[in-house]
Structure 1
Amino acid sequence: MTLSARLPVAVGVDVGSTNTKVVALTAEGAVVARASRPTRRAGADLAVDAAALVAAIEDMVVEVCGDSRVIHALCVAGIGEDGVLVDDELRPLTRALAWFDPRRRDEFRRLRPHLRDDERFDVDTDAVRTLVGWRWARSQPGAGRASAWVALTDLPAVTWTGRPFLSDTLAPRTAAWRSVDRRWVDERVTLTLGDASLLPPVLSTGEIIGEITSGVWAEAGVIATDAIAVVGGHDHPIGGWGVQLMVPGAVLDSMGTAEVVVAQSAVPRRRGGDHVDVAPGIRSTGSTLLRVEELARNVQWASRDPEVARAIRHLLIGRDAPLPLWDSGWFTPGERGGGEPSYAGDVPADPRVRASAVLGALAVAGREAIHAVRRDVGGIAAVRMAGGWVRSPGWIALKSAVNGMPAVPVLEPEVTAVGAALLAATARGWHPDPVDALGGFATGMLG
């Protein structure tokens, strides 16, 4: 089939901690194909094999285009803090240290005494932040040949356009960038990355980067001659932006490896003492508001006990009802950046009690995140839930009980990938319907 006879699509990619997803979206907003693969780790290491990730995305794009679709625009969203050093040909020299890797704690412990706090930063300074990964990357083999540092999420588009950049929704995650004056803090960059010249230009999410070049896609006949790449960035803000197009003013509670509550505020705001991270608004002059809580890692920790693991599974699938223990204080969730979860000394040994205490404490953390973000968008904003956890009826029931309001899931399972596709389509000049894009999920569409 010739390129002109193929259906034009915008492609959205979501680079997740566990899986990477790709969707194809028509100009009208219909999701017509999707693919998913595990995000490639480097052997038994938690770090990501960045080159393998780019290759896997190329293969998935060929898969979703098949023999009947052609890419006109593409946008990549994903993990917020991970990144790699690259050489002159933009090939990765280091692995991407995962944001939840316990090695970050030791690195951060050594750094912390040398980091002066500043309320003008957009995020809390903790072990999760990119600057910790910068410090780690400098000690890795091959780091001396680096010509730039690139966020893992931005790397595919950097590879296909040949233009290094950093999304302005990812720059705040470094804890070395201030959105208020759009500049790097040299002291922090020098201390961790070593050389500010390794930092690429910061571009606005939704901005056109340039035209795409891919030998794989050209050979497969799936790319238009003038196909464009569009700046993506941090996954949750982009998913939240898409949901807000569908439900104006909504707050998105996204639950996967972590629980992330995100909203778009019409007015700029600075970070306060409520652990709400701030980034520039997407296609607006306002702000993106975001709060992150650990989720899956806490459940994994508690599940080391097989009986507790079984009890958690039964609560999540709705086979058993949780005990109302969310305010018991018997479980303390682990901190971001690798801090260990813990039980209180007086917690009963009964597996159902422990499982209820764990899930209840996690639901309370999510509730507090919702309250913190909602305060800036009117306090009564609608909440929509997304992510793999919405498929667990017991968890949705628990969230509803703890939050004191019904949990309303978004039907589309790949909210971030579709949000990225909506950004790509919009930058292309198309006018996709966000309700069509995010309001449902048709099965059997691959091919």
Structure 2
Amino acid sequence: MSLRLTCGIDIGSTNVKVLLIDDEARTRWSRSIPVPRVEQDGRPSTDAGSLVRTIEQLIIEGWRATGSTDPIAAISSTGVGEDGLPVGADLQPLDLALPWFDRRAEDDARWLRSHLDQQVRAGVPLDGTRTAAKWHWLRQHRPEVMTRAATWIALTDYPLAWWTRSPFMSMTLAARTGCYDVFERCWLPSHLEMTGAPALPPVVPAGTVIGNVVRGPLLDSGAASTSTRVVSGGHDHPIAASVVRRIDPDAWVDSLGTANLVYGEAVAIEPRTDPYVAFSVPALGNPGIACLGVFEFSAALEPLRARDQGVALKEFLASQEAPGHPGSISAILRSLERALGMAPAGEAFPPELDTRTVLEASCFYARRTLACARSVGPEGNRLYAVGGWARSKALLQLRASVLGEALHTIDEAELTALGAALIALTASDPGRRDSVQRATSVVFPHKDWESRYEAMYSELLRLFEGWERVRCAN
């Protein structure tokens, strides 16, 4: 059967997904499986070669399942922002990729913060999750690997670079390193020198054709040909947001994955520091600046998973309506302190912090983040909830009630992979109209809860502002 397909790959913190769409941007096949991990020094890491083989198997499986006899027209990828690896001149990995959530480089980040100037131009706080901190750590602990490195490739870009034999870095991934000037869109030389960064490949915006598939099982199986275009994508949350903004160009996006990220775009602004908002380049490389507010959502819920094997959390998320009633402001405050690392070290998880209270706390933090982001970008535009957690009607009802506004959703299970597939589709057919059709729905606040949460937020706002003064001072 003749069927023209394009492919989107989403390399997440937890799962890797592959999605195939046709020329009308209709999903023809998708699948999600756990990211293949290995242990190194007792910690999870990623073998980039194994990851490529896993993705190739998924693409071939999907292509065959569609019944298509035509090679895939174009492929793009999106995924984790900070993970990467040193490679040789032949692009073979020289080491495993440390995940962004690996915190062994925290001391390196503190040292870098005390020695680097122009940090505001990087748009993101320099902490242990950043690629910059990992570079410095690798220079100290694995110098032989960094010395041998011909270049560095972001893990999200690696499959594309491997298939084309062309190293590159997607611009939204460069922006997550802590060494890229997101306002001028160029590297910060002093940061690269201080962090010990290896030689870096060209930085390109999303939608850049890197080359064609020139090797591997995709060719051998017929799923791809040497005419299959390979197209740069980038950071997962912004790429997911780009789908929403194709439907609603001025939307704000509340992306609920392993991390919660609020995303919007604004006209050019002066470099600034904000305790809630990081700055980046827009998802598709458009003019202006992207505003990103991040909260480690999954980590905040980890104690709930440990308690009774997470049964209460699963039951809450599976409900059609959020069970229970608004919690007390003291319990919400205590949950926020724990999530932000302000609780006493070693303190046991308090029994009064039930599932709803912990979720409420994360929603209040999101509300403050959204307010700060909107103070920079356009205000009052519709807010869309996307990501795996956005499939829970109970969570969205609770979140809408705390935020005090309706949440719009899009009927697409793998929105992030779809974003990459649409980038590939546009690159394979430059003359096509840049649009996508998906059903949308709206979740409204619970009227009885909304006023209660509004009063709580007014009180919490004073506490937020106190924390902000401390964080900005540090």
Aligned residue number for residue 176 of structure 2: 173
Q: Percent identity between the aligned chains?
A: 32
Aligned pair in 2 of structure 1 residues 146, 12: CA closer, same or farther (>3 Å)? same
Q: Does 1:62 align with 2:66?
A: no
- Give the superposition deviation at 1:52: 0.9
SS at match of 2:424: helix
Counterpart of 2:295 in structure 1: which amino acid?
E
Q: Does 1:291 align with 2:293?
A: yes
Aligned pair in 2 of structure 1 residues 269, 21: CA closer, same or farther (>3 Å)? farther
Aligned pair in 2 of structure 1 residues 227, 272: CA closer, same or farther (>3 Å)? same
Aligned pair in 2 of structure 1 residues 266, 24: CA closer, same or farther (>3 Å)? farther
- Give the superposition deviation at 1:42: 1.3
What does the per-residue CA deviation read over 1:180-221, in whole Å, with 9 as the maximum and x for residues that have no partner?
Answer: 2332222221222354xx111111111111112232011111
1:332 to 330, 336, 345: 336
What does the per-residue CA deviation read over 1:147-198, in whole Å, with 9 as the maximum and x for residues that have no partner?
Answer: 1111111111110111111111111111111032332222221222354xx1
- Give the superposition deviation at 1:341: 6.9
1:13 to 9, 14, 25: 9
The equivalences for 1:150-229 within 5 A come to 150-195=153-198, 198-229=199-230
Aligned residue number for residue 419 of structure 2: 419
SS at match of 1:60: helix
Aligned residue number for residue 388 of structure 2: 388
1: distance between equivalents of 2:74 and 2:248? Answer: 24
Contact 1:42 1:49 in 2 (8 A): yes
Q: Does 1:367 align with 2:367?
A: yes
- Give the superposition deviation at 1:119: 2.4
Contact 1:72 1:223 in 2 (8 A): yes
Aligned pair in 2 of structure 1 residues 39, 346: CA closer, same or farther (>3 Å)? closer
Q: TM-score with structure 2 length normalisation? A: 0.83
Q: How big is the alpha-carbon RMSD for the aligned residues of Structure 1 and Structure 2?
A: 2.7
Aligned residue number for residue 32 of structure 1: 28
Aligned pair in 2 of structure 1 residues 325, 92: CA closer, same or farther (>3 Å)? farther
Aligned residue number for residue 460 of structure 2: none
SS at match of 2:13: coil
- Give the superposition deviation at 1:115: 2.8
What does the per-residue CA deviation read over 1:332-382, in whole Å, with 9 as the maximum and x for residues that have no partner?
Answer: 3667xxx7474899999545x443332111111122222233334421111
Aligned residue number for residue 260 of structure 1: 261
2: distance between equivalents of 1:343 and 1:432? Answer: 55
- Give the superposition deviation at 1:56: 0.8
| Stretch deviating more after TM superposition (319-328 or 279-288) | 319-328
SS at match of 1:362: helix
1: distance between equivalents of 2:203 and 2:128? Answer: 23
- Give the superposition deviation at 1:387: 1.1
Q: TM-score with structure 1 length normalisation? A: 0.88
2: distance between equivalents of 1:201 and 1:55? Answer: 25
2: distance between equivalents of 1:348 and 1:80? Answer: 30
Aligned residue pairs, count: 429
2: distance between equivalents of 1:99 and 1:325? Answer: 34
Contact 1:347 1:354 in 2 (8 A): no
The higher-RCO structure (CA 8 Å, 6+ apart) is 1
SS at match of 1:290: strand
Counterpart of 1:393 in structure 2: which amino acid?
K
1: distance between equivalents of 2:348 and 2:338? Answer: 17
What does the per-residue CA deviation read over 1:40-85, in whole Å, with 9 as the maximum and x for residues that have no partner?
Answer: 1113622222111111111111111114152111111110011100
2: distance between equivalents of 1:355 and 1:393? Answer: 15
SS at match of 1:81: coil
Counterpart of 1:300 in structure 2: which amino acid?
E
SS at match of 2:159: helix
2: distance between equivalents of 1:349 and 1:142? Answer: 44
Counterpart of 1:49 in structure 2: which amino acid?
D
Unaligned runs of 5+ in 2: 441-474
Counterpart of 1:104 in structure 2: which amino acid?
A
Contact 2:103 2:129 in 1 (8 A): no
Aligned pair in 2 of structure 1 residues 350, 181: CA closer, same or farther (>3 Å)? closer
Counterpart of 2:129 in structure 1: which amino acid?
V
2: distance between equivalents of 1:379 and 1:78? Answer: 28
Contact 1:325 1:360 in 2 (8 A): no
Aligned residue number for residue 449 of structure 2: none
SS at match of 1:169: helix
| Stretch deviating more after TM superposition (408-417 or 266-275) | 266-275
Counterpart of 2:167 in structure 1: which amino acid?
P
SS at match of 1:157: helix
Aligned pair in 2 of structure 1 residues 98, 127: CA closer, same or farther (>3 Å)? same
Counterpart of 1:30 in structure 2: which amino acid?
R
Aligned residue number for residue 443 of structure 2: none
Aligned residue number for residue 357 of structure 1: 357
Aligned residue number for residue 145 of structure 2: 142
- Give the superposition deviation at 1:224: 3.5
Aligned residue number for residue 242 of structure 1: 243
Aligned residue number for residue 445 of structure 1: none
Aligned residue number for residue 404 of structure 1: 404
2: distance between equivalents of 1:258 and 1:415? Answer: 15
Aligned residue number for residue 116 of structure 2: 115
- The structure richer in helix per residue is 2
The equivalences for 1:312-331 within 5 A come to 312-318=313-319, 320-325=323-328, 328-331=332-335
